[in-house]
Amino acid sequence: MILIVDSGSTKCDWISVDNNGKQLLEKIRTSGLNPEILKEKKLYKTIRKSEELMAHKREVTHIFFYGAGCGTENPRLLLKRVLEDIFINAEVEVTEDTMAAVRATLNDDNEAAVVCILGTGSNCSYYDGAHLDQRVQSLGYTLMDDASGNYYGKQMIRDYYFNHMPETIKVSFADKYNMDADFIKYNLYKQPSPNAYLASFAEFMFLNIDSPYIQDMIKEGIRLFAKNMIFQYKHEVEKVPVHFVGSIAFFAKKQILEVAEEMGFTAGNFVRRPIEGLVAYHTKRLN
């Protein structure tokens, strides 16, 4: 059994296939496994909480894990150790989530493109057809992650408290979420995964997408992301498409296309979840 895993900070999808790519079990979903944010004990607990994973753990021969927080060596090795300890018969490969985005969005293996992730967090890389080039080292959700779920969650909470939201939107926002200040601070400063907590507010944008306030906020975040991330590859963007992966990108496609035209880059493919493309990629290479 081969496990192909796509993990953000919020959720983690596990697909089990045989060597021919035939799916063996229903897709398994756990909480996200970001080793930059979660401690070792929490990583173990999250995986072991899945009865299905535990029932088949000895059958697993390969794990290809793509995840947020796996782009730096120490967190990547921590998660690799945890997986090897649980799935004792498996060869384990842990790779940053950017490579999942690259492999899922390219039209062919040798295509060059700028590839962006807009999910709970955000990232952007250039793939030249063989190698990945990241020119900005992520400092995490507190300082970076423009146009991500946690970015928009933070913007809406700020706008709510600074009274920048239109009144009708503010009333709807308070109806949907607990906006008590102590509750918000508890989740931000006392609970694990505050970035995922912030990102949980992003759903509200797409439930209220007809609001000019929401549309302007989405586009402003994309402009910041383009300025700070996409245009790190200014010369490459003149020649290659910019592909997008992640739920925020998928649901904000219209706004991204508008900003792309405005700022002068070509938006390419939009993929909500890359895991289906990864199944084909890996099974082809195991045979």
**pLDDT tens string 104-122:** 888 887 899 999 999 989 9
* Number of Cβ atoms within 10 Å of the Cβ of 265: 22
**Whole-number mean pLDDT of the chain?**
93
**pLDDT tens string 176-200:** 999 999 999 999 999 988 999 999 9
Of 44-53, 62-71, 251-260, which range is least confident?
A: 62-71
Of 48-57, 137-146, 167-176, which range is least confident?
A: 137-146
| Residue 52 CB-half CA count within 13 A | 12
Q: Which two tokens stand for residue 121?
A: 């967090």
Q: Where are the domains of the chain?
A: 2-100+274-286
Calculate what percentage of the chain has a pLDDT beyond 70.
100
Q: Can you give the pLDDT at residue 287?
A: 64
| Euclidean distance between CA atoms 192 and 32, whole angstroms | 11
Q: Is 0.85 topped by the overall pTM?
A: no
Mean predicted confidence (pLDDT) in 241-255: 95
Mean predicted confidence (pLDDT) in 12-18: 93
Residue 277 has pLDDT above 80, yes or no: no
Residue 128 has pLDDT above 90, yes or no: yes
Under CATH, which architecture does the 2-100+274-286 domain have?
2-Layer Sandwich (3.30)
Q: Which two tokens stand for residue 117?
A: 């992730």
Q: What is the DSSP letter of 268?
A: E
Query: What are residue 29's DSSP bridge partners?
Result: 13
Contact status, residue 93 vs residue 63, Cβ threshold 8 Å: yes
Check residues 177 and 9 and name the one with the higher pLDDT.
Answer: 177
